[in-house]
């Protein structure tokens, strides 16, 4: 295989692997804290992608957007502040969103679509609220039940979200608008290395942005977990939930925060996935969800760095399998799952997983 | 009972029988999805049948009566519909249906009732496979693969081809196999035959491999959703070869998703389109009559196939010289060079229609009908 082809495969793998890694973090965070495999995570990812699609391509009515934002704020408020009066910072964003919704509803032209930044912020916010709501409704009541009950509940939520997606969005795959600047490929010449003037490597900017944004998000997440008080509480819960509760930590709020962060990352992954593979459909979260789960187990479930490394490695292995053995291309997914089995047999705690203590 | 009463009733019965014999209409059953998920195609096909009926309301001097049953896009309903048509309405032949799974359900019933059926747009090979009474007015999936290969070699002068297909999809595997067979037979070389799985969205690895082999044409027998994404990724990776596909790509969404990447994309489809340049006589007549029949609605290939089915039955009844179901079946099996809307149509040994295949190219985001191709298999 020539050098430029290998480099091309490397860039393809980087973008795919970074996306797997980003989704895998959501699995690993929840598992680290609750020992629960959140099977609904892939569908949360789908919701994130759909929300961006609906605000930018298919124009979402302003009242629906405003309603979703209001519901999201309500969820945040109910979970994090309970019965107390909302703090001062709660009001400006609410006011801002009401104003924006009012503007879109009455003054914006009919074919107006909000800018990307607004759509992305909207999607992340609503998706993380949905993640928190799922925890509150489907997992929190089962906190003291056997672990298998929560797992079944997670599978139920997964089916619920998928089928809700089919009913609301219809089963048709829908195209996503890609900003031209993100997909016009950058062409690098590798003739200096190979001596062949025709050795070119093409990379779409989005394929570079995906790993960069992922790295940035992971750095932010690691900061929250290792340098802030809620992060300390998360690490503490992952070690011993009962003792943490005795220390006066509001365990349910910290878990809700974990779900919020995990779902926000899933939304980011969903948005970037939709930009890289410009299509949304209600079952789009299933396969990436499974793959990301493999990545999380591969890296060592419960470890955030492990999830990212696992995601990247899975991306590389999948792409390189096809690159080196083109005739085996139909076995690409099968290979990913065989990998899962082999890892579980050889190293049940994954590459970076440590013993059961000190996860996350 | 007195002798007088007996004689009287006998006379009455005889009179009624003679009367019925003279005016009894020829009943043709129609079972199509008029509601449910396939309703769009089913409705157009029904309108095609009705247009044909309006044009030719009599055969052998007898009135033709259409018995229309909705199969509700449901397999059980499809079987029930055929049951009703054969046992209650005693039709001499049945037209239908849109959707291969519906046709498979209905076909079993028709087979045991020994009633000839002509399928409108059920393209799965299994529909007529091993059946004596099921025919169809459309071609089967693999036939198109051969058509695409013939076009690639004869018109695009392609010598090297690559194939990228979904490994678990009957439609894709069928088209790819026949493309490959036909392309090789026409002295072409198939450089790469790569696979992907259902729901894959990342094709970069396969495409990088294909691009490095430098083929003249890439054949992707995909549905529009994956197909458009494959083309997008191929162009991003710098692919310059032509890309071809099958009729599953014949959907406006192909352009919506693919945008500029689908420019120059070629796909095979049934050879009827309102905008096609040189129509045959039947197609001209069909298009002109449609305008008076359903003004404001464009005829499409489904309507053309419905129309063709009805006309095939009329031809078969004329050839059979009566309404004996066995004779009609034999006449349909022997149908050759029938002037259909979709070109000269012949029924082959497996009861599928053989006719030219239409080729469409995407130019400036619009479908342009390029012409016809006769598959060399």
Q: What are the sequence ranges of the domains in chain B?
A: 11-139+280-356, 142-269
Chain A positions in Cβ-Cβ contact with residue B237 (cut-off 8 Å): 8, 185, 202
For residue B49, the distance in angstroms to the closest alpha carbon of chain A comes to 29
Nearest CA to B207 out of B168, B169, B241, B173 is that of: B241
Neighbours of A101 (CB within 10 A): 20
Chain-chain contact of A322 with B202 (C-beta, under 8 angstroms): no
Looking up tokens 């032209």, which residue turns up?
Answer: A109
Name the band, by pLDDT with cuts 50, 70 and 90, for residue B301: confident
* CA–CA dist A212, B210 (Å, integer): 28
Say whether residue B205 is in contact with chain A using an 8 A CB cutoff. yes
Looking at the domain assignment, is residue A160 inside a domain? yes
Contact A267, A127 (CB under 8 A): yes
Across the interface, of A2, A202, A278, the residue whose CB is closest to B232 is A278
d(CA A195, CA A164): 55
pLDDT of residue B50: 95
Residues of B within 8 A of A175 (CB-CB) are 228, 253, 256-257
For chain B, what's the residue count? 377
> Does position B20 have pLDDT exceeding 70, yes or no?
no
At B367 the pLDDT is 85
How far is B290 from B341, CA to CA, in rounded Å?
12
Cβ of B253 within 8 Å of Cβ of A175? The answer is yes
Chain B residues in contact with A323 by the CB 8 A cut-off are: 205, 208-209
Rounded to a whole number, what is the distance in Å from the CA of A191 to chain B's nearest CA? Answer: 16
Residue A253 lies in a domain: yes
| A185 to chain B, closest Cα gap in Å | 6
As a whole number of Å, the end-to-end CA separation of chain B is 71
Most confident of A87-91, A191-195, B138-142: B138-142
Sign of CA dihedral A302, A306, A308, A313: negative
3-state secondary structure of B71: coil
Question: 3-state SS of chain A?
Answer: CCHHHHHHHHHHHHHHHHHHHHHHHHHHHHHHHHCCCCCCHHHHHHHHHHHHHHHHCCCCCHHHHHHHHHHHHHHHHHHHHCCCCCCHHHHHHHHHHHHHHHHHHHCCCCCCCCCHHHHHHHHHHHHHHHHHHHHHHHHHHHCCCCHHHHHHHHHHHHHHHHHHHHHHHCCCCEECCCCHHHHCCEEEECHHHHCCCCCEEEECHHHHHHHHHHHHHHHHHHHHHHHCHHHHHHHHHHHCHHHHHHCCCCHHHHHHHHHHHHHHHHHHHHHHHHHHCCEECCCCCHHHHHHHHHHHHHHCCCCHHHHHHHHHHHHHHHHHHHHHCHHHHHHHHHHHHHHHHHHHHHCCCCCCCCCCCCCC
* Phi, psi (deg, nearest 5) at residue B354: -110, 125
Under the banding of pLDDT at 50, 70 and 90, the label for residue A117 is: confident
* A335 contact partners, CB below 8 Å, separation of at least 6: A317, A318, A321, A328
List chain B residues with CB under 8 Å of A172.
253
201-230 of A, contacting B, C-beta below 8 A: 202, 204
Contact between chains at A330 and B228 (C-beta distance less than 8 A): no
Partner-chain contact A326 B194, CB within 8 Å: yes
Report the half-sphere exposure of B237 (CA within 13 A, side-chain side).
29
CA B108 to CA B92: how far, in whole Å? 17
With vertex at residue A352, the alpha carbon angle to CA A296 and CA A127, rounded to the nearest 5 degrees, is 30
CB distance from A273 to chain B under 8 Å? yes
pLDDT at A129: 94
Is A64 among the domain residues?
no
Question: What whole-number distance in Å separates Cα of residue A187 and Cα of residue B144?
Answer: 37
CATH number 3.30.465.10 given to B11-139+280-356: no
Q: Which among B31, B109, B67, B60 has a CA at the least distance from the CA of B316? A: B60
Query: Which pair of structure tokens corresponds to residue A18?
Result: 């970074």
Does the pLDDT of residue B305 top 50, yes or no? yes
Contacts of B188 (CB under 8 A, 6+ apart): B149, B152, B153, B158, B159, B160, B161
Q: Are B358 and B271 in contact (CB under 8 A)?
A: yes
Residues in chain B with CB shorter than 8 Å from the CB of A8 are 208, 237
Give the model's pLDDT for residue B172: 87
A8, A200, A277: residue with CB nearest B202:
A277
* Residues of chain B found within 8 Å of residue A330, distances taken between Cβ atoms: 167, 195-197
pLDDT at site A40: 94
pLDDT tens track for A310-336: 999 999 999 998 888 888 888 888 887
Q: Give the model confidence (pLDDT) of A11-46 as tens digits.
A: 999 999 999 999 999 999 998 888 888 999 999 999
Q: Has residue A358 got a pLDDT over 50?
A: no
**CA–CA dist A265, A219 (Å, integer):** 12
B306, B48 contact by CB (below 8 A): yes
Pairwise CA distance, residues B360 & B265, whole Å: 8
B-chain residues near A286 (CB < 8 A):
199
**CB neighbours of A197 closer than 8 A, spacing ≥ 6?**
A189, A191
Q: How far is A160 from chain B (nearest CA, A)?
A: 20
The residues facing A174 across adjacent strands are A280
In terms of residue numbers, what domain contains A253?
3-59+113-346
More confident residue, B122 or B251: B122
Distance CA A199, CA A230 (A): 50
Q: Which among B167, B209, B259 is the nearest to A322, CB-wise?
A: B209
User: DSSP assignment, residue B58?
Assistant: E
For residue B223, give the chain A residue with the closest CA.
A173
Residues 336-365 of chain B whose Cβ lies under 8 A from any Cβ of chain A: none
Q: Is residue A97 part of a domain?
A: no
Name the burial class of residue B346, with classes exposed (0-12), middle (13-18) and buried (19+) by CB atoms within 10 angstroms of its CB: middle
- Beta-carbon contacts of residue A271 (< 8 Å; ≥ 6 apart): A48, A49, A52, A120, A123, A124
The token pair that represents A28 in the structure block: 């690993």
Kindly write down the DSSP assignment for every residue of B212-251, as one continuous string: HH--SEEE----HHHHHHHHHHHHHTT--SEEEE-GGG-S
Please report, for the domain that includes residue A164, its CATH number.
Answer: 1.10.3470
CA dihedral A40, A90, A124, A300 (to 10 degrees): -50
Three-class secondary structure of residue B139 per DSSP: coil
What average pLDDT does the segment B237-259 reach? Answer: 86
In this prediction, residue B92 carries a pLDDT of 94
Residues 126-185 of A with CB under 8 A from B: 172-173, 175, 178, 183, 185
Give tens-digit pLDDT for A246-285: 999 989 999 999 999 999 999 999 999 998 888 888 889 9
Looking at the predicted structure, is the pLDDT value of residue A354 above 90? no
Mean pLDDT throughout B44-69? 93
Q: Which helix (H) or strand (E) holds B332?
A: helix B325-333
Specify whether the CB–CB gap between A72 and A129 falls below 8 A: yes
Q: For B256, which of A175, A322, A333 is closest by C-beta distance?
A: A175
Residue A359 has pLDDT above 50, yes or no: no
Band (pLDDT 50/70/90 cuts) for residue B123 is confident
Taking 80 as the threshold, does the pLDDT of residue A51 lie above it? Answer: yes
pLDDT at A86: 67
* Facing residue for B205 by CB, picked from A12, A172, A173: A12
Dihedral of the alpha carbons of B64, B70, B74, B77, in degrees to the nearest 10: -70
pLDDT band at A360 (very low <50, low <70, confident <90, very high): very low
The answer to whether the CB atoms of A185 and B257 lie below 8 A apart is: no
Q: Tokens 């497996």 map to which residue?
A: B350
Tell me the average pLDDT of chain B.
88
Angle at A52 between CA A49 and CA A56, to 5 degrees: 140
How close does chain B come to A269, measured CA to CA in Å? 14
Beta-sheet strands, E only, within chain B: 26-32, 58-59, 62-70, 93-95, 117-119, 134-136, 160-166, 189-196, 217-219, 242-245, 266-269, 338-340, 343-347, 353-354, 357-363, 366-373
pLDDT computed for residue A105 by the predictor: 60
**pLDDT (average), residues B177-185:** 93
Q: Give B-chain residues touching A5 at CB under 8 angstroms.
A: 208, 212
Check CB contact of A279 with chain B, cutoff 8 Å.
yes
Tally of domains in chain A: 1
Calpha distance B134→B128 (Å, rounded): 5
B contacts of A200 (beta carbons < 8 Å): 238
CA distance B290 to B284: 10
Closest by CA to A324, choosing from A334, A316, A333, is: A316
Do B42 and B32 touch, CB atoms closer than 8 A?
Answer: yes
Fold of B142-269: Rossmann fold (3.40.50)
What phi, psi does A294 have (nearest 5°)?
A: -60, -45
B252 touches chain A (CB under 8 A): no
pLDDT tens track for A211-240: 999 999 999 999 999 999 999 999 999 888
What is the average per-residue pLDDT within B78-82? Answer: 94
Instruction: Mark yes or no for CB contact A16/B204 under 8 Å.
Output: yes
Q: How buried is residue A110: exposed, middle or buried, by Cβ count under 10 Å (0-12/13-18/19+)? A: exposed
- How far CA A353 is from CA of A20, A29, A212, A301, B231, in Å, comes to 18, 13, 24, 6, 40
Q: Identify the pLDDT of residue B30.
A: 96
Measured N-to-C along each axis, helices A229-239 and A3-34 cross at an angle, to the nearest 10 degrees, of 80
The predicted model gives B296-311 an average pLDDT of: 90
| Residues B182, B150 contacting (CB under 8 angstroms) | yes
A318 interfacial to chain B (CB closer than 8 Å) = yes
Candidates B192, B205, B259; nearest CB to A9: B205
Domain annotation covers residue A99 = no
């Amino acid at each position: 295989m020539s050098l430029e082809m290998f480099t091309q495969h490397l860039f393809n793998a980087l973008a795919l692997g970074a996306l797997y890694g980003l989704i895998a973090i959501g699995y690993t965070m929840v598992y680290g804290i609750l020992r629960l495999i959140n099977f609904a995570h892939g569908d949360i990812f789908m919701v994130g992608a759909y929300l961006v699609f609906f605000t930018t391509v298919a124009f979402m009515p302003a009242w629906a957007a405003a309603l979703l934002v209001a519901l999201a704020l309500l969820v945040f408020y109910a979970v994090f502040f309970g019965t107390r009066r909302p703090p001062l910072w709660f009001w400006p964003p609410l006011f801002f969103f009401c104003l924006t919704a009012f503007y879109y509803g009455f003054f914006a032209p009919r074919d107006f679509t909000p800018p990307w930044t607004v759509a992305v912020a909207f999607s992340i916010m609503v998706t993380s609220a949905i993640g928190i709501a799922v925890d509150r409704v489907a997992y929190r009541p089962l906190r003291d039940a056997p672990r298998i009950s929560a797992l079944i509940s997670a599978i139920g939520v997964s089916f619920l979200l998928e089928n809700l997606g089919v009913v609301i969005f219809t089963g048709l795959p829908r195209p996503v608008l890609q900003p031209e600047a993100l997909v016009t490929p950058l062409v690098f010449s590798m003739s200096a290395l190979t001596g062949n003037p025709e050795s070119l490597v093409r990379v779409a900017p989005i394929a570079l942005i995906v790993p960069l944004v992922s790295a940035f998000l992971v750095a932010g997440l690691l900061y929250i977990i290792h340098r802030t008080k809620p992060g300390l509480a998360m690490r503490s819960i992952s070690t011993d939930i009962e003792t943490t509760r005795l220390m006066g930590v509001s365990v349910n709020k910290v878990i809700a925060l974990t779900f919020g962060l995990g779902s926000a990352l899933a939304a980011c992954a969903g948005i970037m996935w939709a930009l890289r593979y410009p299509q949304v459909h209600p079952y789009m979260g299933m396969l990436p969800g499974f793959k990301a789960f493999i990545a999380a187990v591969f890296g060592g479930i419960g470890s955030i760095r492990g999830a990212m490394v696992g995601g990247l490695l899975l991306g590389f292995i999948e792409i390189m399998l096809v690159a080196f053995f083109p005739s085996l291309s139909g076995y690409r997914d099968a290979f990913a799952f065989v990998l899962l089995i082999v890892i579980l047999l050889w190293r049940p705690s994954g590459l970076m997983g440590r013993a059961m203590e000190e996860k996350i | 009972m007195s002798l007088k009463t007996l004689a009287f009733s006998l006379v009455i019965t005889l009179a009624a029988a003679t009367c019925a014999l003279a005016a009894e209409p020829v009943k043709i059953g129609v079972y199509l999805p008029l509601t449910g998920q396939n309703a769009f195609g089913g409705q157009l096909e029904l309108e095609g049948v009705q247009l044909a009926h309006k044009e030719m309301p009599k055969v052998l001097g007898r009135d033709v009566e259409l018995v229309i049953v909705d199969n509700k896009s449901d397999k059980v309903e499809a079987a029930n519909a055929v049951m009703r048509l054969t046992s209650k309405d005693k039709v001499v032949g049945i037209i239908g249906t849109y959707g291969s799974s519906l046709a498979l359900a209905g076909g079993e019933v028709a087979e045991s009732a020994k009633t000839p059926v002509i399928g409108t747009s059920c393209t799965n090979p299994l529909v007529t496979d091993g059946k004596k009474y099921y025919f169809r007015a459309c071609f089967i999936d693999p036939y198109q693969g051969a058509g695409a290969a013939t076009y690639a070699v004869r018109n695009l002068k392609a010598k090297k081809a690559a194939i990228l297909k979904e490994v678990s999809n009957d439609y894709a595997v069928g088209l790819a196999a026949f493309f490959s067979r036909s392309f090789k037979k026409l002295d072409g070389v198939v450089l790469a035959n790569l696979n992907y799985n259902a729901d894959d969205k990342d094709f970069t690895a396969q495409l990088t491999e294909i691009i490095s082999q430098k083929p003249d044409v890439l054949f992707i027998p995909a549905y529009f959703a994956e197909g458009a994404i494959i083309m997008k990724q191929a162009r991003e990776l710098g692919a310059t070869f032509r890309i071809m596909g099958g009729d599953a790509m014949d959907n406006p969404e192909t352009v919506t998703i693919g945008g500029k990447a689908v420019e120059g994309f070629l796909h095979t489809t049934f050879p009827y389109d309102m905008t096609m340049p040189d129509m045959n006589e039947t197609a001209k007549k069909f298009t002109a009559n449609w305008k008076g029949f359903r003004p404001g609605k464009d005829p499409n290939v489904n309507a053309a196939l419905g129309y063709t089915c009805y006309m095939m039955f009329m031809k078969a009844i004329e050839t059979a010289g009566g309404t004996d179901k066995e004779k009609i079946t034999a006449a349909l099996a022997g149908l050759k060079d029938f002037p259909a809307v979709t070109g000269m149509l012949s029924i082959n040994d497996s009861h599928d229609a053989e006719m030219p295949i239409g080729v469409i190219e995407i130019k400036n985001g619009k479908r342009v009908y390029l012409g016809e191709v006769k598959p060399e298999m």
